[in-house]
Amino acid sequence: MSAPTDPAVVAPGLTRLAELDATVTQCRACPRLVAWREEVGRVRRRAFAAESYWSRPVAGFGPADASLLLVGLAPAAHGGNRTGRMFTGDRSGDVLIAALNGLGLASQPTSISRDDGLELRGVRITAPVHCAPPDNKPTVAERDTCRPWLVRELELLRPTVRAVVVLGAFGWQAALPALSAAGWDVPRPRPVFAHGVRTTLHAADGGGGKLALFGCYHVSQQNTFTGRLTPAMLRGVLAAAAHTAGLATH
C-alpha cells in the first residue's frame, strides 16, 4: 500500500473501519512527527533496547460496531509508538485498561502488546493525532492535518456509537470540530472541558440521533500519580458513559 499523502483527500473515500485503520498506519503527512516517531524507534529507551519499535501511526483499536468511543491525545513515544496499539505498553494504558476490565468492558486488566489477546467489548479507543509527538505536544497544524482520519472514523461508527468519552482538554478541543464535521450539531459556544462534564449532541441532519459526550481527565501519569484522577473518578465516568451507550457493566 502506498503512503497516503493527504488525509483530507484519502479518508473520505474509505468505506470500512478495517480499511481506515490500515490506511492510517501508512500516513506520512506530518514531517516533524514522521521524523520523531522514527527517531524514537531507532534510539529506543534502555528498557526496550532489544525490541523492534512500531514507529508508525497508530490506528484506533476495538470493534467496528462499538457503541462507546474513547478519544485520547496521541500515542506515547515508548507506548503505542513502540507496540503499535493505542494505550498499550505504558502506565496510562495500564490505568485505562484496568478500569475497563473492572467494568467488564475489556477481556483482561493489562495491555502489553498487540498480540496479548486483549479484546474490548463494545468499546473502541482512538486519538485525534495518530503519531507520537515530541513532548506529547502535537502542533495545531498537526492536529488539524490528522483530523480527517477521526472524522471518517466517527462517520463509520455512527450507526452504532452512542457515547464518547474524551480524555483531556487537548482531546476535547480536537474532538469537537471532528464531531461537527462528522454530522453532529455541536452547540455554540462550544461546551467547556471539565472532568465529569456531559453534554448531548444531536444529529445535524435532524434525523433524531443523539450522542452523549463525556469529559474525563487524561490517564497520564501526571494526573494519576498526583491523585488528580483517581481510579474511582475514572470508573465513574466510564460507567456512566457505558450505561448511556447501552453496555452492561459489573
Residue 1 lies in a domain: no
Residue 115 exposed, middle or buried by CB count within 10 Å (0-12, 13-18, 19+): exposed
Residue 9 lies in a domain: no
Residue 202: phi and psi, rounded to 5, are: -110, 155
Residue 193 lies in a domain: yes
pLDDT score recorded for residue 207: 76
Contacts of 78 (CB under 8 A, 6+ apart): 40, 45, 48, 89, 90
Residue 136 lies in a domain: yes
Q: Could you read off the pLDDT tens digit of each residue along the chain, which spans 250 residues? A: 456 679 999 999 999 999 999 999 999 999 999 999 999 999 999 999 999 999 999 999 999 999 999 999 999 999 999 999 999 999 999 999 999 999 999 999 999 999 999 999 999 999 999 999 999 999 999 999 999 999 999 999 999 999 999 999 999 999 999 999 999 999 999 999 999 999 999 999 877 789 999 999 999 999 999 999 999 999 999 999 999 999 999 9
Residue 250 lies in a domain: no
Residue 199 lies in a domain: yes
Residue 122 lies in a domain: yes
Residue 96: phi and psi, rounded to 5, are: -65, -45
Count the domains in the chain: 1
Give the whole-angstrom CA distance, residue 24 versus residue 51: 23
Residue 6 lies in a domain: no
Range of the domain at 31: 14-245
CATH code where residue 180 lies:
3.40.470.10
